[in-house]
Amino acid sequence: MAGVNAAGASNLNQGCAPIVIDFSNVSTGTNWIWDFGDGSPIDTAYAPSHLYTTAGVYTVTLIAFDSLSCNLADTITFPITIGLSQPLTAAFTAFPDASCTTAGVTTVNNSTGSPLAFEWDMGDGAQYTDTNVVHTYLAGPGSYTIQLLVYDPTGCSPPDSVSQTISIVPLDTVNAAFTAMQVPNCNQALVDCVNQSTGLAMTYIWDMGDGTTYTSTDVDDHMYAGPGTYVITLIVNDSLACNASDTATYTIVVVPALPIAAAFTIEQLFDCAQLPIGSDNTSTGSFLSFQWDMGDGTQYIDTNVVHTYTTPGTYDVVLVVSSIAGCFDNDTTMLTVTVDPIIPITADFVIDQIGNCTQLAVQGTNQSLGDSIAFTWDMGDGTTYSTTDVAHVYTVPGTYLVQLLVEDLGCGNDDVYVTTVTVINELPIVAATYGVICPGLTTTIDATSALGSSYLWSTGSPDPSIIVDQPGQYIVVVSYDNCTGSDTVDVIVAPEQDLSYSIDACPGTPMTLSVPFEGSAYLWESGETEQSITFLFPGADTADYDFEVWDALGCVHSDSVTVTPMDSNPRLFAPNAFTPDGDGINDEFVITGYGEREVELMIFNRWGEQVFNTKSLTDPWNGTYSGQIKQDVYVYKLKYNGECTNDETSIIGHVTLVK
């Protein structure tokens, strides 16, 4: 048996026309027949080459056999796919299944081009590569977008895609439903039935409960001849047999006509923001209709009403009861209703200690507002009450935080009010911890307590407050009912302050003045309130700048700063001789005068040697040079400028040292 192996039998398994495919042969045998599948003549070469000029999928057949007929022939086939550059068009139609049991779709592929390969995306995660698809949507009814991608497996043509959205409708379910409207007719009834059933291809059977049947969709004007109870039955069938039939019923009661008697009650309804009332209609009779007049211009035709008034007040509510069938005359009744105003929830109370100081008792009076409310008191010592007002006795004196929670039982808009109450077993005295006597003044010290208290100061005064002008310790005793208390006030004298000072200043230059005392507040005569002020000094005359300063004790001190204008031109003078003989008289060469800012003094001997130099007039020359004092005439050079000017003055002179 010859062995033919097509694996790797061609250099290409696919390509774009025109293309030459080279075939290889690993068969055993002596003769070969090649059929290239495109209708061309067969080839008997061992390993031929073949030109494909037309696109398509071709089956290549190789037959190997032994020419000596020692072996039977053997055959193998393999595909060759030849493409062609051409436009591909993706197209399909999708048909939802008409089955009553599945939610599926079938596609018909209408794409054009060759060769083609396909990729389907069914819109629910499922994918296929078949030409056509039959798919079931496991998720059930819904909207799905199906996409088809068409491509050339040889890659010779660009791919194309198309999508289509389909709706998978729910499997049909028949539901029988209808409404029945009864028109009163005294002792008879006229009934209309409106079919509201759902399903596909439905048929209907009506059983009216009085021996009458219908097959119409609805029932119009069916007359029940006399009083009684009748059950209407609707049977709905699916003509496609997808579902079983369904049944719905409705009971009609035809009662004998009764005389009319109008009656109702009214109550105001609780509401958080409006003024509503509600009715309870107790009228009797048959086939009744109702007309309400609410007394504020509003009317209703309902059996019962809920009406909201815009303002509180008293209203006459009238009800007229009629017979729809006209069997009896109308009847009328009226009630007067009083509508109360809305009261918002507000928590409020007052609480005070009552009795004498030894009882530690308090009384709380509730002043809260609102409707449908409940109260919870928290006395601040672990005790709670749910009463409207509260009376409580504490075990120890002190200050307690008292809370009243007002709960809105209807609307939930609670409110809370919190305050403190102080219970004492001795009278507290509120007096100043200290008093201050400012220089030249007096001070008032005061004790305040309950209305009607009596006072006794250590000065003997029975008044609530006293005026003192001397430092010291003052004691007050206060009595009220069974309570007594005392306090001590220390009175001190604030020290006087001498804050005035003087300065010299250059005319027309900025200057800064400061209050020479750290106070709590300041006030200059110019109205400025800082400790230091800066201004341009005019310098025409000496001026006083007044100020006030408050010390830490609250006392005010008044003083001023004197500013004297300086001469704009400095004046310096040098003597023409001095005698450094140690007698204490004229022993140094001293430059005198005023107004200098920068100065330099240089002294030279007759040979031009500098024997002395200084830049301070407080450092005079004592006549010494190289440790000796030599009598001679010396030359000095004095350079200076003034405090108020930058112009430099230079003076050269002679001074005689007399020994």
Q: What is the pLDDT of residues 111-136, one digit of tens each?
A: 998 888 999 999 999 999 999 999 98
Task: Kindly state the tokens that stand for 288.
Answer: 């009744």
- Would you say 506 and 643 are in contact if contact means Cβ atoms under 8 Å apart? yes
Query: What is the rounded distance in angstroms from the CA atom of residue 572 to the CA atom of residue 601?
Result: 12
Which of 125, 124, 115 minimizes the C-alpha distance to 150? Answer: 115
pLDDT reading at 645 higher than 90: no
Please tell me which residue, 100 or 616, carries the higher pLDDT value: 616
Q: At 359, is the secondary structure helix, strand, or coil?
A: coil
pLDDT at 267 over 70: yes
Res 5: pLDDT: 40
Least confident interval from 79-93, 477-491, 503-517: 477-491
Q: For the residues 242-251, what does the mean pLDDT come to?
A: 82
Q: Answer whether residue 8 shows pLDDT above 60.
A: no
Q: How far apart are CA 206 and CA 198, in angstroms?
A: 16
Question: Could you tell me the pLDDT band of residue 540, with boundaries at 50, 70 and 90?
Answer: confident
Calculated CA dihedral for residues 466, 468, 473, 474, nearest 10 degrees: -10
Cβ neighbours of residue 351 closer than 8 Å, sequence gap 6 or more: 362, 363, 364, 365, 390, 402, 419, 421
Report strand pairing: 299-300 vs 306-309.
Answer: unpaired
Q: How far is CA 52 from the centre of its chain?
A: 74
Q: Collect all residues with Cβ–Cβ distance below 8 Å to 628 and sequence separation of at least 6.
A: none
CA distance 334 to 317: 6
Closest by Cα among 431, 426, 430 to 397: 426
List of domains in the chain:
14-83 (2.60.40.10), 92-168 (2.60.40.10), 178-254 (2.60.40.10), 264-339 (2.60.40.10), 349-423 (2.60.40.10), 430-493 (2.60.40.10), 501-565 (2.60.40), 571-657 (2.60.40)
The residue that leads in pLDDT, 318 or 15, is 318
* CB proximity list for 100: less than 8 A, separation 6 or greater: 171, 172, 240, 242, 243
Ranges 104-108, 425-429, 587-591, 610-614: which has the least confidence: 425-429
pLDDT at 431 over 70: no
Residue 45 pLDDT more than 80?
yes
Q: Is the pLDDT score of 500 beyond 80?
A: yes
**pLDDT value at residue 206:** 97
Q: Which candidate, 594, 608, 597, places its Cα nearest to that of 637?
A: 608
**Alpha-helix residue ranges (DSSP H) falling in 394-516:** none
Query: Considering only CA atoms, which of 479, 239, 237, 468 is closest in space to residue 357?
Result: 479
- Tell me how far apart the alpha carbons of residues 641 and 650 are, in angstroms, rounded to a whole number: 9
DSSP at 353: E
pLDDT band at 341 (very low <50, low <70, confident <90, very high): confident
Tens of pLDDT along 198-219? 887 789 999 999 999 999 999 9
- Contact (Cβ atoms closer than 8 angstroms) between residue 222 and residue 190: yes
Which residue in the block uniquely carries the two structure tokens 């039939």? 245
Averaged pLDDT for residues 267-287: 87
Q: Do residues 203 and 215 touch, judged by C-beta distance below 8 A?
A: yes
Structure tokens at 504: 């010299």
Per DSSP, what are the bridge partners of residue 349? 366
CA 365, CA 417: separation in Å to the nearest integer?
13
The band of 69, judged by pLDDT with boundaries at 50, 70 and 90, is low
Q: What is the pLDDT of residue 1?
A: 35
pLDDT of residue 621: 94
Judged against a pLDDT cut of 90, whether residue 593 lies above it is answered with no
Gap between the terminal Cα atoms of the chain: 157
Distance CA 330, CA 353 (A): 68
Residue 312 neighbours by CB under 8 Å, 6+ apart: 275, 339, 340, 341
